[in-house]
């Protein structure tokens, strides 16, 4: 692939602001007891800082040329030619007395997929500092009640405390991206935020509710789940949720209660 095309396809915008790089690493504050997995190390803006602070650093880079250069520059870092969308995060084991931390300035085009893989890894991870396109980061961190709150917010917040920690201007990168960026600090909860008998069903209900987010809940769920309106209204009533509300106003607990009544 020609290098310019490759650069675009892989979202290769490299951080050139050392203060921002340190601030990202400081969010998870690695110590010699910790294992850090870095996603998309690129030309090493975060890798060097991580190598100086964490006990062990594993870096996942899909661009083999960048991976080879990183191996030469940071011999203590285990650089893997790996795709961060499909890597087995669930198999990570924390070092004795330490934590598993994930740090990465994620490629924009696949940022949501990588985030989903990380959240899906469950309790194998302790904390994460992830840079994403700002609009995506805001959706992940959004509380109920606004237009940015959606299934991405619900699924991430089910398993993590999420805080939008830093906003990063395009000028901090070479070449500068067309969009703004933001860094999320996520702490993985030891138990899901709300108790669920069937997480798959919860996901189906949440996706259906937001698939037609401008409709009231009864209509969106009826259409999305293929259920008669009366069934949805009765279930919502039993869950204590007004079926005339819109999905964006429901808390995680309300989605859980609704799922239980729709199952």
Q: Per CB under 6 A, does 164 bind ligand SAM?
A: no
Nearest-approach distance from CB 134 to ligand SAM, in angstroms:
13
Using Cβ positions, the residue closest to ligand SAM within the complex turns out to be 40
Q: Which of the stretches 26-34, 105-113, 119-127, 138-146 binds ligand SAM when contact is defined by CB under 6 A?
A: 105-113
Among 27, 28, 30, 40, binds ligand SAM (CB under 6 A): 40
Q: Which of the stretches 35-43, 185-193, 195-203, 219-227 binds ligand SAM when contact is defined by CB under 6 A?
A: 35-43
The nearer residue to ligand SAM, 72 or 195, going by C-beta atoms, is 72
Nearest-approach distance from CB 142 to ligand SAM, in angstroms:
23
Nearest-approach distance from CB 72 to ligand SAM, in angstroms:
16
Tell me whether strands 160-168 and 181-188 are parallel, antiparallel or unpaired. Answer: antiparallel
Among 8, 14, 33, 193, binds ligand SAM (CB under 6 A): 14
The nearer residue to ligand SAM, 36 or 84, going by C-beta atoms, is 84
Among 37, 49, 53, 63, binds ligand SAM (CB under 6 A): 63
The residues binding ligand SAM (CB under 6 A) are: 10-15, 40-42, 45-46, 60-63, 66, 83-85, 105, 107, 110
């Amino acid at each position: 692939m020609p290098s310019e095309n490759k650069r675009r396809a892989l979202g290769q915008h490299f951080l050139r602001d050392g203060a921002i790089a340190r601030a990202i690493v400081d969010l998870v504050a690695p110590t010699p007891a910790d294992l850090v997995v870095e996603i998309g190390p690129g030309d090493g803006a975060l890798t060097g800082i991580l190598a100086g602070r964490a006990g062990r650093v594993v870096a996942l880079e899909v661009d083999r040329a960048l991976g080879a250069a990183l191996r030469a520059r940071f011999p203590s870092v285990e650089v893997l030619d790996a795709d961060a969308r499909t890597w087995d995060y669930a198999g990570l084991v924390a070092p004795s007395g330490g934590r598993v931390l994930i740090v990465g300035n994620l490629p924009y085009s696949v940022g949501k997929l990588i985030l989903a893989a990380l959240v899906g890894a469950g309790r194998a991870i302790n904390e994460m500092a992830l840079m994403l396109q700002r609009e995506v980061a805001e959706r992940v961190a959004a509380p109920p009640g606004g237009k940015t709150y959606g299934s991405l917010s619900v699924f991430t917040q089910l398993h993590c405390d999420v805080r939008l920690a830093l906003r990063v201007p395009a000028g901090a990168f070479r070449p500068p991206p067309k969009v703004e960026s933001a860094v999320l600090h996520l702490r993985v909860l030891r138990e899901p935020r709300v108790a669920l008998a069937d997480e798959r069903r919860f996901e189906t209900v949440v996706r259906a509710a937001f698939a037609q987010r401008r409709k009231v809940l009864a209509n969106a769920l009826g259409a999305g789940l293929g259920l008669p309106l009366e069934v949805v209204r009765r279930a919502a009533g039993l869950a204590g949720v007004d079926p005339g509300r819109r999905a964006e106003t429901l808390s995680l607990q309300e989605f859980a209660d609704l799922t239980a009544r729709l199952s």
